[in-house]
Amino acid sequence: MGVTPIFFLRLVSVLGLALMLSSRLTVEATARTHRFSVNNHLKRLNKPPMKTIQSPDGDLIDCVHVLHQPAFDHPFLKNHTVQTIPEYHPDGRRLFDASKTKSKPNSQMWHSNGRCPENSVPIRRTKREDIFRATSVKKFGKKKHIRRPTSTSPDMINENGHQHAIAYVEGDKYYGAKATINVWKPKIQQSNEFSLSQIWILGGSFGQDLNSIEGGWQVSPDLYGDNNTRLFTYWTSDAYQATGCYNLLCSGFVQINSDIAMGASISPISGYRGSQYDISILIWKDPKEGHWWMQYGNDYVLGYWPSFLFSYLTDSASMVEWGGEVVNSEVDGQHTTTQMGSGHFPSEGFGKASYFRNVQIVDRFNNLKPPKRISTFTEQSRCYDVKHYSNADWGTYFYYGGPGKNPNCQ
């Protein structure tokens, strides 16, 4: 049986063409699936608004009916009655209507173009390009999986490039925390890095099931598409794996406030040797319902994380941390110049280094108190450092941060 070479050639080219076609079809099908899942994701995140406000910084703020916010997609929240006020407030004053107070100093940029109606909550709209910047639809709005250093193994240096300069307390039961945080605009070298300054309320261990509630400010080009300093929250109940997200980018946090949008830009920002600005964040557990509430400034009770989102935190927190975190992505084996805080070391002090002041915890009697014993931690103090103090005015306070790459940190 003679098979001519020409037949072989033809067979090969037919096979090749079929292969090429099928791979192109696969690419197109993948693109179509991706487009479909991006559209679906956008539909899940962006609820039909009652009103939309364009912010000067480019954000679109959707005023969404309080009962239509993403939280209510959560199966556990199907029959949930929204709590309009916490039962208990650790500042000692009972709030009659937390969502309506008089003095409103910390305004957000979008307020210059309007306000959200009553019964609605402002939600920063997620744009198509926001999702395209994430490595996948599933990862959008989530922190990269990280294993955190603990005081029991403070020698775990530079896990996955996450670096911290923090103050912390542990060894007791904590029912909340408060601090006033200096606001800066740290420089980010690579768009996939971030720099944040926040409070962590932690339960469980740093293994697979860490519970964490976080709030503060951050600069995160990949998440927001710019270098603005933004108010943010985060939560997870499984060590940053399947559950949780930033802001309202998944169902969980129930927002009740119609003035403050999570993820919106904060202004003004402090200047080196210039005017200093700060924000206060209070997170506490309502002893009656068990939900974890968050307050911004003295006037804005933003909402709460329902207790059933968590395992360990349904009882109390076992650790509280305050301070900065950055990602260093090590370009060409070199530490990046991504800044933490003001980008200056604690030794420079007020007006130059970033601070946390009036650092407090909520104790088992639901009272705000300065922590009894505070410790500090940093992986590489020559890149980012932290120094704590106390005085009558500022209670427990600390300076933290640094420039990243410098002659002592390569």
Task: Give the nearer residue to ligand NAG in terms of CB position, either 114 or 225.
Answer: 225
221 makes contact with ligand NAG (CB under 6 A): yes
Total Cβ atoms within 10 A of residue 30:
10
Cα separations in angstroms, 324 against 305, 373, 384, 385? 23, 19, 9, 10
Task: Give the nearer residue to ligand NAG in terms of CB position, either 177 or 223.
Answer: 223
Rounded distance between C-alpha atoms, residue 401 and residue 384, angstroms: 5
Rounded distance between C-alpha atoms, residue 131 and residue 225, angstroms: 10
Local structure of residue 310 (DSSP, 8 states): -
What is the closest distance, in whole angstroms, from the C-beta atom of residue 80 to ligand NAG in the complex? 9
Rounded distance between C-alpha atoms, residue 59 and residue 279, angstroms: 21
Rounded distance between C-alpha atoms, residue 41 and residue 155, angstroms: 40
What is the closest distance, in whole angstroms, from the C-beta atom of residue 221 to ligand NAG in the complex? 6
Candidate list 19, 24, 104, 226; residue touching ligand NAG; CB under 6 A: 226
187 makes contact with ligand NAG (CB under 6 A): yes
147 makes contact with ligand NAG (CB under 6 A): no
Q: Which of 26-34, 221-229, 269-277, 328-336 is the region at the interface with ligand NAG (rule: CB under 6 A)?
A: 221-229
269 makes contact with ligand NAG (CB under 6 A): no
Residues 6 or more apart in contact with residue 217 via CB below 8 angstroms: 181, 183, 196, 197, 198, 229, 230, 231, 232, 266, 279
Task: Give the nearer residue to ligand NAG in terms of CB position, either 226 or 330.
Answer: 226
Candidate list 78, 93, 102, 373; residue touching ligand NAG; CB under 6 A: 78
What is the closest distance, in whole angstroms, from the C-beta atom of residue 227 to ligand NAG in the complex? 4
79 makes contact with ligand NAG (CB under 6 A): yes
Candidate list 64, 95, 131, 188; residue touching ligand NAG; CB under 6 A: 188
Active-site entry in 325, 330, 348, 379: 325
Active-site entry in 87, 118, 129, 214: 214
What is the closest distance, in whole angstroms, from the C-beta atom of residue 188 to ligand NAG in the complex? 5
Rounded distance between C-alpha atoms, residue 309 and residue 289, angstroms: 13
- Comparing CA positions, the residue from 106, 105, 113 lying closest to residue 56 is 113
Please state whether 226 falls in left (phi above 0), alpha (psi between -120 and 50) or beta: beta
Q: Which of 2-10, 84-92, 210-218, 219-227 is the region at the interface with ligand NAG (rule: CB under 6 A)?
A: 219-227
Total Cβ atoms within 10 A of residue 245:
21
118 makes contact with ligand NAG (CB under 6 A): no
Size of the site for ligand NAG (CB under 6 A): 7
Task: Give the nearer residue to ligand NAG in terms of CB position, either 187 or 387.
Answer: 187
Candidate list 52, 158, 227, 358; residue touching ligand NAG; CB under 6 A: 227
Name residue, tokens 């693109």: 31
What is the closest distance, in whole angstroms, from the C-beta atom of residue 187 to ligand NAG in the complex? 5
Task: Give the nearer residue to ligand NAG in terms of CB position, either 221 or 395.
Answer: 221
What is the closest distance, in whole angstroms, from the C-beta atom of residue 76 to ligand NAG in the complex? 6
309 makes contact with ligand NAG (CB under 6 A): no
Active site residue 379: no
Local structure of residue 73 (DSSP, 8 states): G
What is the closest distance, in whole angstroms, from the C-beta atom of residue 130 to ligand NAG in the complex? 12
Question: Helices marked H in 220-289 — which ranges?
Answer: 221-224
Active site residue 87: no
Rounded distance between C-alpha atoms, residue 217 and residue 262, angstroms: 10
Task: Give the nearer residue to ligand NAG in terms of CB position, either 78 or 373.
Answer: 78
Local structure of residue 288 (DSSP, 8 states): T
- Comparing CA positions, the residue from 339, 250, 263, 251 lying closest to residue 296 is 263
Question: Helices marked H in 191-315 — which ranges?
Answer: 221-224
Task: Give the nearer residue to ligand NAG in terms of CB position, either 191 or 390.
Answer: 191
81 makes contact with ligand NAG (CB under 6 A): no
Do 253 and 214 meet the contact criterion of CB atoms below 8 Å apart? no
Rounded distance between C-alpha atoms, residue 175 and residue 137, angstroms: 34
Task: Give the nearer residue to ligand NAG in terms of CB position, either 227 or 366.
Answer: 227
What is the closest distance, in whole angstroms, from the C-beta atom of residue 304 to ligand NAG in the complex? 18
Q: Is the peptide bond before 268 cis (omega within 30 degrees of 0)?
A: yes
User: Which residues participate in catalysis according to the annotation?
Assistant: 214, 325
Binding site for ligand NAG (CB under 6 A): 78-79, 187-188, 221, 226-227
